Structure 1
């Protein structure tokens, strides 16, 4: 597999940094990139849309005597680039000073791993229009195959693939590039409920390699089954019950938690996790790590968006908060050493059972298969979310439920985590397993 970076991108990024310094920038960084994206949409037995886009561009971060700006352009001709940078620096000089705006300290670039992350699939460049359309068509066929009673009203499917390449250069010594591919497949299904409603459901998958996607017919069938499973759903009774959250959607809860771990939230006093480093904020089952070097991982990287070398980083250990996501800017404001700007891949300490086994242990409760709107406060940790799913009775799925709501506080919720599945979701960088919480307040009838 070729992982050779386009020399044109490398040379463009280098030239842009040199030009910025020549025009008076104190420091500068440049990222040159190109991307090709193809998308096919299929709707109810026919091709609905085909799109293809190829883009190339340059983004620049300019630092001039304590002033900072971020600009971008798609005109990479030498004469146009020089003029663009000169004009951008003139604009930057008119901005307010911010003493914290500088490139990361060069020592943060050190220790970059030298390994192949295996995130580029050469087949992406070889896929034909017929193959893309066939995948989208088979997604619909799979969805309709799940319907034995003629309840499906409409099926919309999609298949897309993307190639991205970039090269970053900074004036204080960083250089690095990456090439990656990504494939996405999805199916959305609407059905007719006897009471006149038209429930909708979907399923999707993301992967770095085409071969890592599930079979189109299987993915489509799951989407059809999910939609058909919504027929006859009702609002359940209000109660305090155990809650299992399906691995496909449990990432919603995790994103609420991680969103309060950013440097911006902490510095601006908008985080309920502020000041809790080293404290126990969840149960022993809350045990996860940020792992940037997973082969074929959707979030894998050798360095982050600033060039800081990526390293494995514990986030929670048996419920104890171990790290925050701190970039160089907020690291200076907080006077903390930077870690990284954002999550890569999450790795969970998994339990011994997948969803079916967890539901057997649950006996009575609710399985959440989807979140519908809602909100969460990063400041207080209070949340309120609409949910849909199934009532669990005797360890088995029973009637579908919808139009219910859960509410509470995250610091309380994560202490109620009593089980983690053995089934990390493979089509997300969060790789969340099924999660089980005790004593959750459900609002319904």
Structure 2
């Protein structure tokens, strides 16, 4: 069977029609296809080439007040009919759940027709020679910065994927999307004078090939990051100003957004429960979920349920404005659904880049990575391992490692004193450099 977008629509429609015919009161189906190619290169040799084309169908069934979600990769008509029949029989044996229904059709309304520009035609033109050239250049650039023979190993990768989906719901929704992604990475290990082997990397992900940094730039950054870890040591315990590199800041943001879901709220596993309309961060915390950014990694016209994607204010001057609530938890919470999860984040950016922020900071620590740790979604308490650099006189100084920060999310975000003008382009979170005052660092 052909797997172009037209046939994906036909498969999804057929699945919903079969489900209704065989006794489902409601049904929704997502048909999908993906083609992914990846090349890995390690220390001067081709390490792996993989190419995979996958297709599948996931179906949500609502039968006699009961619900199930099932999936298959066999899309032949005769197999599909048997699959739906068996799945409905299984669903009838499950417990009832009065809250399980498709979204109200009014939530499908208002879908924008804007072109998200998330499919790059260049993806179809990429050949094996170009992919291998990229991974070779990544390694060469990483090794070129090593003047003392400290680099032990370099592993590089390049990949691209085209994904297609089409969703149909029995109460009136239909919609499909096609999008590409390209990624490149370089992982570098080095040998320190004391025998340790620090590792660092750099990476990039983009919808369009032309938006990736060139291989020489990315590889050089990976090598410099690894060599920058040489001589890293645990610093003294202190309360200091903390700048978080834009590439690393997503870890903190994910700990803030996770407790904002309908599931977390309904199950009382959120320190933000009951905080809507209250100030939970500083004036600098201004954040919107923006699904329509051209070429955005999280851009979409509708979410996983078919709810029309719209901009959603999350924080305004530190005040919590919205939660991520899907239709199921909306019914449980008696709240109007917004969307099931984040798309792209849009920040109110500051006017300064990282170098200028560090100059203002004068004394503190620049965190470039988080190592393990955890955040309690119920209380907001967190403890994270960090690595980075001491900042002295507004300049990056010696590397630090094996230190920890701890505190509470409700306190941390009120300590946000500066936001950079440098959103990280290779993540849907698009985090800029963030600066927090008065953070407790544990070291020696």
Q: Deviations for 1:343-381, whole angstroms, at most 9, x for unmatched residues?
A: 000000011101000000000000000000000000000
Matches within 5 A, 1:102-113: 102-113=101-112
Aligned ranges for residues 13-412 of structure 1 at < 5 Å? 13-412=12-411
Please give the alpha-carbon distance, in whole angstroms, between the structure 2 residues aligned to 1:142 and 1:110: 50
Q: What SS is found at the alignment partner of 1:370?
A: strand
Provide Cα deviations, 1:51-99, integer angstroms capped at 9, x if missing partner: 0100111110000011000001111111110011000000000000000
Report the Cα distance in structure 1 between the residues aligned to 2:76 and 2:416, rounded to whole angstroms: 56
- d(CA) in 1 for partners of 2:262 and 2:93? 27
Helix, strand or coil at the partner of 1:28: strand
Distance 1:230 1:135 in 2: 25
Q: Unmatched 5+ residue regions in structure 1?
A: none
Give per-residue Cα distances to partners, 1:258-316, cap 9 Å, x unaligned. Answer: 00100000000000000000000000001110000000000000000000000001100
Cα separation, 1, equivalents of 2:73 and 2:196: 47
SS in 1 for 2:19: helix
- Does the CA-based 8 Å contact 1:5-1:167 persist in structure 2? no
Answer yes or no: is the 8 Å Cα contact 1:5–1:177 preserved in 2: no
Q: Is the 8 A contact 1:165 1:177 kept in 2?
A: yes
Alpha-carbon contact 1:5-1:178 (below 8 Å) kept: no
Q: Deviation above 6 Å: which 4+ runs of structure 1?
A: none
Q: Distance in 2 between matches of 1:153 and 1:341?
A: 44
Q: CA deviation at 1:6?
A: 1.6
**Post-superposition shift, 1:341?**
0.3
Give distance in 1, aligned partners of 2:68 and 2:352: 50
Maintained 8 Å contact 1:108/1:309 = yes
Post-superposition Cα deviations, 1:177-199, rounded to whole Å, max 9, x if no partner, equal 00000001000000010011000
CA contact (8 A) 1:20 1:28 kept: yes
Post-superposition Cα deviations, 1:407-431, rounded to whole Å, max 9, x if no partner, equal 0000000000000001000000000
Q: What SS does structure 1 have at the residue aligned with 2:385?
A: strand
Q: Are the equivalent residues in 2 in contact too, given 1:363–1:396 (CA < 8 A)?
A: yes
Structure 1 distance, partners of 2:399, 2:79, is 60
Deviations 1:153-183 (A, max 9, x none): 0000000100000100000000000000000
TM-score normalized with structure 1 length: 0.99
1:5 deviates by 6.5
Q: Please list every run of 5 or more consecutive structure 2 residues that lacks an aligned counterpart in the other structure.
A: none
CA distance in 1, matches of 2:10, 2:292: 27
Matched, 1:438 2:437: yes
Count of aligned pairs? 442
Q: Is the 8 A contact 1:205 1:427 kept in 2?
A: yes
Q: Aligned to 2:89, what secondary structure does the other structure show?
A: helix
How large is the RMSD of aligned CA atoms in angstroms? 0.8
Tell me the distance in 2 between the aligned counterparts of 1:66 and 1:236: 59
Aligned partners of 1:63 and 1:142: how far apart in 2? 55
Q: Distance in 2 between matches of 1:373 and 1:259?
A: 17
TM-score, normalising length: structure 2:
0.99
